[in-house]
Each structure stands twice: as C-alpha cells, then as structure tokens.
Amino acid sequence: MVNTWLINSTKNLLPLSVSKDFTEAIKSEWFFEGVAYDLGYPSVDCQLCNHEAIRYQFQIHNQLTDNTLLIGSSCIQRFGIKYKNEDGTTYTMDATMREVKKSLKQAIIIRKKYCKNRAIDDLNLLRKNIREDNINVISFIDAYEKFGMMTPRQLAFIISLFEQYNILYDISNFVVSTRNKKQIDDISNINDVQYNRIVGALTPKQKNLRIKKAA
C-alpha cells in the first residue's frame, strides 16, 4: 500500500534540507520552536504532508538552512519532530507534545483577542452612523466590548444595520452566545433571514442546534 503522506512529506521536506535522507533530516535539522497559529477555521493545507484543510498551524524550523514549514500537530507526532527551546535544549517527544498543547492554547487566545478587536472596530463604525438616542444598539455594542459576544437575535439585528449603512464587516470575527435556554432556542426560532446573517459566526455545535430542531 502506498504511503501517500510519507511520499508527500519527503517531496516537501528534502528540498529545504541539507540531508537527502528524510529520517535524518527530521531528526537532526528540523525542530518545533513554539510558534503556532489559529486560523479560525480549517482553511489551509499542511505544508509537510499536504493534508487538506487544517485550522491550527505549527511552525517547524530547519536550524541549518533557516527554512520553515507550517504543519499540523499530527505531523509533529507522526514524524517525531522535537521541540527545541531558546537555550538549544531538545525535548523528549512527551515534553514536545506538552509544548505543542501549550503553544496551541496561546494561539487560540491570540486569535480570540484579534477577532474581538476586529469586531469592535466594525461596531464602532456602526456607532458613528447610528443616532445617539438608539439606546438598544448602543447597549448591544457596549455589551460586546465588555463580554465579547451577543445573543443570536442581537447579532442578527446588528448585521442588518451593517447592511443598511453599507458597512463592511467580517462575520467570522463575531461570537454568538448560547449560554442559556432562551439563547439556545433562538438559534432554532429566528427566521431564515436572521439565521443566514449570523451563520458565519456560529460554531459547528451551534449550527447543529438548528439542524436538530429542523429534523
């Protein structure tokens, strides 16, 4: 049986390495150094094995050529790519995977902060366009700045205002709250127009709430 991921990995790694032996290159040249990214959703391929649609990227660095690759965590574990700290200490694989988890956690925090800031930027553009006496909208925006989320109905209304005032926005930067039964029920009860306005902000689990109700 052809091992496709190994063939792809060999083709992608060796041109960027000194050694012409895949195992030797992985062992002596390439290391994970703690750099990780959360892209928000599965959108790119692993640069090592070509696995499609990964969300989390982990950068491996060749200490001899200074080349880098952005790969999935599975490749780190599968090929035994070890973590090397700033002092040059190489970790065991168990310790490496702990560093992978730590780096992933930090990447997720950074991504959430970035998305919240971008969403607030969009909301502040809306704030400049609406009437100051529109208390509901102002309160929605203030609450988002404080809590980083809106109810399904609130966000659907805010998106309708973005459309009304022709304000560009990225729905994927917003977070929908489903912390209580009413908010959970709202996912199912809002009409199709409202749902389509917020669907890009929903997690797979939240989307499933509407699918289950429809079934």
Assess whether pLDDT exceeds 90 at residue 215.
no
Q: How many domains does the chain have?
A: 2
State the pTM of this model: 0.86
Residues 99 and 137 in one domain: no
- So what's the pLDDT on residue 104? 98
Residues 101 and 151 in one domain: no
Residues 71 and 34 in one domain: yes
Q: pLDDT above 90 covers what percent of the chain?
A: 87
Q: Which of 75, 107, 139 is the last residue of a domain?
A: 107
Residues 96 and 135 in one domain: no
Strand, helix or coil at 50? Answer: coil
Asked whether residue 29 is domain-assigned, the answer is: yes
Residues 53 and 136 in one domain: no
Q: What is the mean pLDDT of residues 136-164?
A: 93
Assess whether pLDDT exceeds 70 at residue 133.
no
- Least Cα distance to 151 among 125, 182, 181, 177 occurs for 177
- Total number of residues shown for the chain: 215
**Distance between CA 97 and CA 113 in Å, rounded?**
24
Q: Which of 42-56, 123-137, 164-178 has the lowest mean pLDDT?
A: 123-137
Q: Are 9 and 84 in contact (CB under 8 A)?
A: no
**Over the chain, what is the mean pLDDT?**
94
**Distance between CA 136 and CA 132 in Å, rounded?**
10
Q: Which of 107, 142, 177 is the last residue of a domain?
A: 107
User: Cβ of 202: how many Cβ atoms within 10 Å?
Assistant: 21
Assess whether pLDDT exceeds 80 at residue 211.
no
Q: What is the side-by-side strand order in the sheet with 68-71? A: 30-38, 56-62, 68-71
Asked whether residue 26 is domain-assigned, the answer is: yes
Q: Are 70 and 37 in contact (CB under 8 A)?
A: yes
Token output for 166:
């022709």
- Least Cα distance to 190 among 148, 143, 155 occurs for 155
Assess whether pLDDT exceeds 70 at residue 51.
yes
Residues 81 and 141 in one domain: no
- Least Cα distance to 124 among 170, 172, 167, 175 occurs for 167
Q: What is the mean pLDDT of residues 34-63?
A: 96
- So what's the pLDDT on residue 213? 59
Asked whether residue 33 is domain-assigned, the answer is: yes
Domain that residue 147 falls in: 130-214
H-assigned helices in 80-134? 93-129
- So what's the pLDDT on residue 116? 96
